[in-house]
Amino acid sequence: MKKIILAGLAAVLAIACAEKPEEKPMYTLFVGTYTDGDSEGIYTYTFDANTGELSNQKLAAKLSNPSYLAISKDKKNLYAVQETADFDSLGGGVTAFKLKEGVLELQNSMGTQGAHPCHVSLSGDGHLAVANYTGGNVALFSLNDDGSLADDPQIIDHKPLDSVKTSHAHMAQFNADGIMVTDLGLDAVKRYNKKNGEFVPAEQYSLPFEDGAGPRHFSFGNNGKMLYVINELNSTISVFEKDVDENYKEVQVVPTLDAGFDGESFCADLHLSADGKFLYGSNRGENTIVIFAVDPTSGQLDLIGRESVRGDWPRNFSMDPTGEYLLVANKKTSNIAVFKRDMEKGTLTFLNETKHPNPVCLAFLD
């Protein structure tokens, strides 16, 4: 009888252990902001991937308008733009930090040689790119061995490319071919290849868009075969496919707004889920995250729906390292909204919000 009882207890314990959910780690979330209000710079939070809760807010670095952040793959450095026109006589700035256990240590800052830098990205092999919105150009820095910024960046200037339209470089992102730049003012994506240590126009130099589209951010799918571009001004997403000649051809354009929406709205950010099955975009005005399924064969988009961001003017948003949550920075209502993401359906369910002054960019340290 005693043996039977002990065996039963062992079975109960085994079932209880088996049913206990796997404990997920805590992550550090960096928040970039505009500092024309109550914010002072870059902040950190602790994000609990078990509950979706943000806690332990800290000011990580005082900095003017750190509106976009990038973290190196080795997690040893963080970079932030200073989206101003008066860092120096030429425009805004970019700052490099050492990153150790979630703490930022200032390394150096450099002028980006253009006003209002709004995006920063890393190549993974010692280069950093900054898109200067008002400056209409891109600054390409080499990085020193410790991750700090080297002198004398290469400047790619879009201002001379058009005598009618005004260049507004909005995003510069490295890829296997070199670097691609969205220019909202020129209604184009420009492609550059690296040759003899410099970035030069690629054979397919420009991807054209409808006048007034305003390409802003983009994401690659299917190992670079697909390119998804969100257009700020006409609230659409353009889908391109790379052909056998390595040229991108537009294959689809989809609206981001509900057909019944009546009002002004401007797209901001977009991200693919890590498995490539879903694409998300933010609408400032409609104040939604629009959700698309990605066709596994064609790479084209099918609308699933949209979710209110529970705030006003969603800028950057980010999925946490587990992919189970999506966080939105609502600038005008000064809150960060957290959503649970259905990994199979792609849909979002609102969980909670955290008040934070003028949030713009959300970057996880995973």
pLDDT at 8: 52
Mapping DSSP to helix (H, G, I), strand (E, B) and coil, where does residue 61 land?
strand
pLDDT at 180: 98
Q: Give all strands (DSSP E) within 88-221, no chain letters.
A: 93-100, 103-111, 117-122, 127-132, 137-142, 154-157, 169-175, 178-183, 188-195, 198-208, 215-221
pLDDT at 22: 82
Q: CA dist 333 to 29, 233, 311, 329, 349, Å? A: 19, 22, 6, 9, 19
- The per-residue DSSP string of 46-92 comes to EEETTTTEEEEEEEEEE-S----EEE-TTSSEEEEEE--S-SBTTB-
The 10 Å Cβ neighbour count of residue 276 is: 16
Instruction: Give strand pairing partners of 159.
Output: none
d(CA 40, CA 208) in angstroms, rounded, equals 39
The 10 Å Cβ neighbour count of residue 361 is: 25
pLDDT at 300: 98
Q: What phi, psi does 207 have (nearest 5°)?
A: -100, 115
The 10 Å Cβ neighbour count of residue 274 is: 12
Please state the pTM of the whole predicted model: 0.94
Instruction: Give strand pairing partners of 85.
Output: none
Per-residue pLDDT of the chain (366 residues; tens, 9 = 90+): 545 545 555 554 555 445 566 899 999 999 999 999 999 999 999 999 999 999 999 999 999 999 999 999 999 999 999 999 999 999 999 999 999 988 999 999 999 999 999 999 999 999 999 999 999 999 999 999 999 999 999 999 999 999 999 999 999 999 999 999 999 999 999 999 999 989 999 999 999 999 999 999 999 999 999 999 999 999 999 999 999 999 999 999 999 999 999 999 999 999 999 999 999 999 999 999 999 999 999 999 999 999 999 999 999 999 999 999 999 999 999 999 999 999 999 999 999 999 999 999 999 998
pLDDT at 11: 52
Q: Which amino acid is at 98?
A: K
